[in-house]
Chain A
């Protein structure tokens, strides 16, 4: 049986760990709130841009742009959104597993795909497995601005325009609620499902100067906005996942402290009982 001092030491260290996990839980809760607000602020922009893109792409008839057309797939791009730090439960591992399995299933050689990673966990994971990473970005702020992501988003879209990749998939954790996050795969490019979810009453526009030139500006911006939207979604999931993970760590620490305290008290009582027995035994021997 462990000595009283050992148990006391373990109780103290567990209490300290609990303080830390508790603090992290509260920090994540606050960050989650802000992330939700950011995601909400982004909604009007994304809805509007989607509406305009859809009405041009579907209404015009002769709208034609490389980003709208499927072509033979020689190389596939995967954009993976992960976090920079761990301690977020299954947040990173579930996305990475999904991507890894998909790649194993779809491709036979490393020439057929390339990866674009956002976040350190994803980069390290693929680098360790010697998978080709085309672009990477780490240390994204907890509340990212569009400017933080703009470069990598436009470079990624550029890869498609330059025909380095022929399709692009997004992988991220979709935020369902504070306790549920879903790994989501989204086909970003080519933009083939534009007309989905758009009201039938889209007005027809006059284009200044013409449709092609507007699509030229609009489509990359649209694709970039989708990437940013996914990032905001992923960030909200990250904070939620970390909050949940830290909450269960705190709960576990509570359980552990309870168990250890019980053990400690038992050991203390046993020691006292033993001492009394010894004294009584000693006194009896004297008589």
Chain B
């Protein structure tokens, strides 16, 4: 079976580089599946899990935004942070989730809602990837 090289890079260094058969992820415009031989493409990603399939098994990576660059034989995911399930700090994510929820509930003027919302999304995404691994 044909494969494509997937590399996930963040400012703190590469997270993963390996060959996979299929990449599916959630772009800003909707779900997106990429198979080998795809035309070159760029798409921004949402805060979500990227699923990588290889020989019947699949891996999930928590990606916080960023975007996807596709070439016929290579997929690069550039994100400001990305984690494999084994790297996720569950305790920290849980705390971040609680903190963000508290912030969103206190309807105060000085709370930056957008930021709290993003933080909540990131935390939920991390927990989700960790639990469904």
Contact = CB atoms under 8 A, between A and B. Distances in A.
Interface string A85-116: 00000000000000000000000000000000
Interface string A50-72: 00100010000000000000000
Interface in B39-58: 39-44
Contacts of A49: 78
Contacts of B32: 208
Interface in A1-56: 38, 41-42, 44-46, 48-49, 52, 56
Interface string B1-29: 00000010111111000000000000111
Interface stretch (A74-82, A144-152, A239-247): A144-152
A130 interface: no
A53 B67 CA distance: 12
Contact of A207 (B7, B41, B81): B41
**Chain A interface main SS type:** helix
Contacts of A221: 66-67, 78, 80
Nearest to A149: B11
Given A48-B69, A225-B11, A147 B27 contact: no
Given A208-B27, A208-B29, A45 B10 contact: yes
Given A214-B67, A221-B66, A48 B9 contact: yes
Contact of A206 (B39, B78, B81): B39
Given A213-B28, A218-B67, A146 B44 contact: no
Nearest to A45: B9
Contacts of B80: 146, 150, 221, 224
Contacts of A150: 80
A172 interface: no
A204 interface: yes
Contacts of B81: 146-147
B27 A44 contact: no
A217 interface: yes
A224 B66 CA distance: 12
Interface in B71-104: 71, 76, 78, 80-81
A197 interface: no
A233 to B, nearest CB: 13
Given A207-B43, A208-B32, A214-B42, 16 more contacts: A42-B11, A44-B14, A45-B78, A48-B9, A48-B69, A56-B42, A146-B11, A205-B69, A206-B39, A208-B29, A209-B28, A214-B44, A218-B42, A221-B67, A221-B80, A225-B11
Q: Which 9 residue pairs across A and B have the least CB separation, nearest first?
A: A41-B13, A208-B43, A146-B11, A217-B44, A206-B41, A209-B29, A45-B9, A205-B40, A205-B42
10 contacts: A41-B12, A41-B13, A41-B14, A45-B10, A147-B81, A206-B41, A207-B41, A217-B65, A217-B67, A221-B80
